[in-house]
């Protein structure tokens, strides 16, 4: 789950990580009220959406006085911001963060992320941060270093020294940094983060570190132990189909292709997406209905797949173990009767009660395409959506 910058900064404050003074606003009046609590101008107005690249897209503006704040906040609130991370449809800005503008001495880059390959927490530190970060990373990779931290050992003094070296912090100004890095690491671990990114992390004109931007992604699978963080969820920023699937306990992720996919088991789902791609088509989603599925959940899964306007065909690939093929077949028939399956449906199933399942499907009179095995399914997928 991603959270907004203003929420990430709230977390930063809890860990005494320095952030600019400010507050969030959903209306112009609220923005002015926040401004009135701050010591003075200039202020920054920042669009709050779950995507980066706002600066270049016009979602980050300065205000030198109240009048300017009024004009600019008015413009950003309600705008549809298109950045390289939003896709062409962009995102509606429903809130802005109004902050004291920082006096930037230097812009640095700092992030923490989980690294599956090494089973460690990786800290990325760059001595050149800011809006050109992608370009900098591509053209000057030596400006960045990666420090691996074994989560069982935790952050050690030698890691901190390496990171400070990577950030290019002069030794005589290092004093405030070890506490900041330790706090950031603690925040990462204690809140089960997948990513914490500060770009830019700045050194102010006065020489102090300040997190001018804040991006946090939390591990959905650990949210059950962070009731406080769940209040940060912003459903406007999430795919409505994924939200519905979560309510039904279905493991659904929307993708951009046109072949709807229903599978049981994550491994089989990955393999199924592979055969779809191999057949020259693109999956419209990942959907693992799981082992202990009921006919009702299968039906709900279909409803979700069919709500995606891009879907022009569905492939069901089930290996009946705990989920019996007759239960699946009944779910399919019920779904077809209830929501009307309007696109070609290709079914490959194997395993427990497969004969009963096949009979239920055959007796239903539904126009189904069946496949005998994976290779057959792959060939028929290409035909189905051609």
Sign of the alpha-carbon dihedral angle for 241, 246, 252, 254:
positive
Q: Which does 308 bind (CB under 5 to 8 A by kind): Mn ion, ligand GDP, none?
A: none
Alpha helices (runs of H) in 90-156, residue ranges in sequence order: 133-139
Of 101 and 194, nearer to ligand GDP (C-beta) is 101
Of 183, 129, 137, nearest in space to 160 by CA: 183
Is the Cβ–Cβ distance between 112 and 191 less than 8 Å?
no
Partner residues linked to 92 by β-bridges:
80
Beta strands 345-351 and 313-320, pairing class: parallel
> Look-up: residue for tokens 């519905």?
244
Q: Could you tell me the smallest distance in angstroms from the CB atom of residue 213 to ligand GDP? A: 3
Q: Please choose which of Mn ion, ligand GDP, none residue 369 contacts, taking the beta carbon within 5 to 8 angstroms, the exact cut-off set by kind.
A: none
Among Mn ion, ligand GDP, none, partner that 53 touches (CB below 5 to 8 angstroms by kind): ligand GDP
What is the C-alpha separation between 159 and 126, in angstroms, rounded?
Answer: 14
The reply on whether position 195 binds ligand GDP by CB under 6 A is: no
Q: What is the Cα 122 distance to its own chain's centre?
A: 19
Closest separation in Å from C-beta 134 to Mn ion = 11
Q: Counting contacts by CB under 6 A, is residue 54 touching ligand GDP?
A: yes
Please name the residue that has the structure tokens 């300017």: 68
5, 6, 109, 185: the active-site residue: 109
| Residue 53 makes contact with ligand GDP by CB under 6 A | yes
Vertex 52 angle, CA 3 and 4, to 5°: 20
Interface with ligand GDP (CB under 6 A), residue from 160, 201, 212, 245 = 212
Q: Does 18 bind ligand GDP (CB under 6 A)?
A: no
CA dihedral 33, 38, 41, 46 (to 10 degrees): -70
What is the C-alpha to C-alpha distance for residues 202 and 39, in angstroms, rounded to an integer? Answer: 21
Site for ligand GDP (CB under 6 A): which residue of 104, 303, 366, 369? 104
Please report, as residue ranges, which positions from 115 to 174 form the binding site for ligand GDP (by CB under 6 A). 130-131
Nearer to ligand GDP, 78 or 105 (CB): 105
Does residue 320 touch ligand GDP according to CB under 6 A? no
Q: Which two tokens stand for residue 352?
A: 């427990």
Backbone φ, ψ for residue 211 (5° rounding): -85, 105
Q: Which of residues 218-257 bind ligand GDP (CB under 6 A)?
A: none
- Does 326 bind ligand GDP (CB under 6 A)? Our answer is no
Range 199-228, binding Mn ion (CB under 5 A): 199, 213
> How many H-runs (helices) and E-runs (strands) does the chain carry?
14, 18
* Candidate segments 44-52, 138-146, 255-263, 270-278, binder of ligand GDP by CB under 6 A: 44-52
Annotation marks residue 217 as catalytic? no
- Among 38, 82, 92, 101, contact with ligand GDP (rule: CB under 6 A): 101
Catalytic residue, chosen from 107, 197, 232, 299, is: 197
Give the torsion sign (CA, 5, 7, 10, 14): negative
89 among known catalytic residues: no
Phi first, then psi, for residue 363 (nearest 5°) are -70, -15
Nearer to Mn ion, 213 or 326 (CB): 213
How far apart are the C-alpha atoms of 200 and 126, rounded to whole Å? 10
| Chosen residue from 23, 166, 200, 320 binding ligand GDP by CB under 6 A | 200
* Min separation Cβ 192 and ligand GDP, Å: 23
Which residues are annotated as catalytic?
A: 109, 197
The binding site for ligand GDP (CB under 6 A) comprises 20, 44, 46, 52-55, 60, 101-102, 104, 130-131, 199-200, 212-213
């Amino acid at each position: 789950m991603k959270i907004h910058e203003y929420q990430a900064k709230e977390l930063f404050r809890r860990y005494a990580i320095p952030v600019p003074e400010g507050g969030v606003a959903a209306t112009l009046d609220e923005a002015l009220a926040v401004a009135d609590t701050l010591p003075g101008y200039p202020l920054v107005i920042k669009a709050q959406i779950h995507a980066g690249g706002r600066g270049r897209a016009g979602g980050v503006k300065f205000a030198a006085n109240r009048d300017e704040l009024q004009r600019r906040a008015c413009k950003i609130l309600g705008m549809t911001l298109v950045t390289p991370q939003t896709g062409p449809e962009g995102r509606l800005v429903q809130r802005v963060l109004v902050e004291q503008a920082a006096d930037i001495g230097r812009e640095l880059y700092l992030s923490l992320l989980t690294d599956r390959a090494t089973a460690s927490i990786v800290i990325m530190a760059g001595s050149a941060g800011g809006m050109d970060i992608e370009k900098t990373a591509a053209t000057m990779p030596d400006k960045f270093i990666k420090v691996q931290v074994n989560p069982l050992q935790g952050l050690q003094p030698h890691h901190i020294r390496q990171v400070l070296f990577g950030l290019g912090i002069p030794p005589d100004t290092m004093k405030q940094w070890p506490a900041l890095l330790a706090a950031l690491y603690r925040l990462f671990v204690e809140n089960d983060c997948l990513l914490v990114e500060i770009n830019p992390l700045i050194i102010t004109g006065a020489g102090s570190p300040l997190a001018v931007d804040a991006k946090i992604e939390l591990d959905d699978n650990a949210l059950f132990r962070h009731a406080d963080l769940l209040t940060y969820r912003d459903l406007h920023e999430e795919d409505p189909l994924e939200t519905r699937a979560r309510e039904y306990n279905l493991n659904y992720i929307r993708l951009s292709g046109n072949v709807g996919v229903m599978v049981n088991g994550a491994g089989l789902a990955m393999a199924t997406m592979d055969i779809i791609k191999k057949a020259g088509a693109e999956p419209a989603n990942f959907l693992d209905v799981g082992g202990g599925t009921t006919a009702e959940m299968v039906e709900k899964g279909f409803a979700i797949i069919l709500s995606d306007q891009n879907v022009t065909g569905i492939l069901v690939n089930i290996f009946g173990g705990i989920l019996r093929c007759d239960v699946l077949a009944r779910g399919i028939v019920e779904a077809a009767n209830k929501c009307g399956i309007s696109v070609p449906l290709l079914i490959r199933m194997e395993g427990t009660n497969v004969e009963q399942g096949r009979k239920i499907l055959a007796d239903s009179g539904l126009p189904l395409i069946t496949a005998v095995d994976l290779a057959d399914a792959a060939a028929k997928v290409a035909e189905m959506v051609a």
